[in-house]
Amino acid sequence: MTIQTVGIVGAGQMGNGIAHVFAQAGYDVVLNDINQDSLDKALATIGKNLDRMLSKGKITEADKAATLGHIKTTLVLTDLGQTDLVIEAATEREAVKSQIFETLVPHLKPTTILASNTSSISITRLAARTDRPAKFMGVHFMNPVPVMKLVELIRGIATDDETYTTMLEVVGKLGKTAASAHDFPAFIVNRILVPMINEAIYTLYEGVGDVTSIDMAMKLGANHPMGPLELADFIGLDTCFAIMNVLYDGFNDSKYRPCPLLAKYVEAGWLGRKTGRGFYDYSGETPVPTR
């Protein structure tokens, strides 16, 4: 299979990053969202990220122009039907993702590969709701996409070897490294990472330490570049909560129970950096702990 054109569903934090790296690698990208403002913001973000790379001497003005020239945007989901690869990067809700694939399927070429950027949802189950489970797999990029080198490749139970090999080659062409995972809840990275974050929230909830102490302890004591609560805000507390629920439901094991304090922050709409408040308040020049 030869991939030349790539459709991306969702122009948010992950979607615009995925569009960026594919366009920079020379693929023609069609970026879709239900909101024109989101598409405009995505292009602006890609432009800013390219400018940052330009200022560091990593790319030239010609590279920037070529990358932006590879990206087209659309509000019509079915416009992605004739691309060689479609990557869904919508919100982490299974019903939403399934509806996207069901809408796309009648408009796809027979050879089009379908992929989801899901961080935790069953690839096998999503694939089963399409007409091509053999040509469906998980392609989980890390955030921020242009910076992070890892991509998790997750094969559903029906994913064929040709699809896997094709996506392995694509990841290489993007200049990234693939980690192959089996289709179990949250795969590799988030199965290890998010329960650690959840445990940090329990440590806060139970009064063992405050926000500053917990993050400092892990940065200086475990050499983590970001503290777990700072990282939770960066990921999005709603995403962390969703992943913990997928783990809890998938394994029926109490060690994956989401911390009640995490649930409370999500209920309050304190979702981290994207809402301006989570375990830190981001309204000023310097983030301030909220607990």
- Rounded to whole angstroms, the Cα distance separating 225 from 40 reads 31
Question: What is the pLDDT averaged over residues 191-205?
Answer: 98
Domain with residue 238: its CATH number is: 1.10.1040.10
Domain membership of residue 41 (yes or no) is yes
Residue burial 41-75, b: 16+ Cβ < 10 Å; e: rest:
ebbebbeebbeebeeeeebeeeebeebeebbebee
Domain span holding position 63: 5-182
Q: What is the pLDDT of residue 184?
A: 95
Residues 23 and 157 both lie in one domain: yes
119 is a catalytic site residue: yes
Residues 19 and 140 both lie in one domain: yes
Residues 37 and 177 both lie in one domain: yes
Residues 122 and 57 both lie in one domain: yes
Q: What is the pLDDT of residue 264?
A: 98
pLDDT at 1 > cutoff 90 = no
- Residue 143 among known ligand-binding residues: yes
pLDDT at 175 > cutoff 90 = yes
Question: Which of 49, 116, 117, 119 is the catalytic position?
Answer: 119
Residues 38 and 101 both lie in one domain: yes
Q: What is the pLDDT of residues 232-261, one digit of tens each?
A: 999 999 999 999 999 999 999 999 999 999
Question: Which of 32, 38, 122, 152 is the catalytic position?
Answer: 152
- Residue 92 among known ligand-binding residues: yes
Domain membership of residue 63 (yes or no) is yes
Residues 167 and 216 both lie in one domain: no
- Rounded to whole angstroms, the Cα distance separating 88 from 41 reads 18
Residues 41 and 160 both lie in one domain: yes
- Residue 72 among known ligand-binding residues: no
152 is a catalytic site residue: yes
Considering the chain, what is the average pLDDT of its residues? 97
283, exposed or middle or buried, with CB in 10 Å at 0-12, 13-18, 19+? exposed
Task: Give the pLDDT band (50/70/90) at residue 92.
Answer: confident
Q: Final residue of a domain: which of 155, 182, 209?
A: 182
Q: Which residues pair with 113 in a beta bridge?
A: 85
Domain membership of residue 289 (yes or no) is no
198 is a catalytic site residue: no
Domain membership of residue 290 (yes or no) is no
Structural domain count of the chain = 2
Which of 94, 53, 82, 21 lies closest to 242, judged by CA?
Answer: 94
267 is a catalytic site residue: no
Which of 210, 201, 277, 289 lies closest to 241, judged by CA?
Answer: 201
Sorted by sequence, the CB contacts under 8 Å of residue 222 that are 6+ apart come out as: none
Residues 222 and 275 both lie in one domain: yes
- Rounded to whole angstroms, the Cα distance separating 10 from 19 reads 10
Question: Which of 16, 116, 120, 190 is the catalytic position?
Answer: 190
CB 182 within 8 A of CB 269: no
**Residues of the chain with pLDDT > 90: what percent?**
97
- Residue 274 among known ligand-binding residues: yes
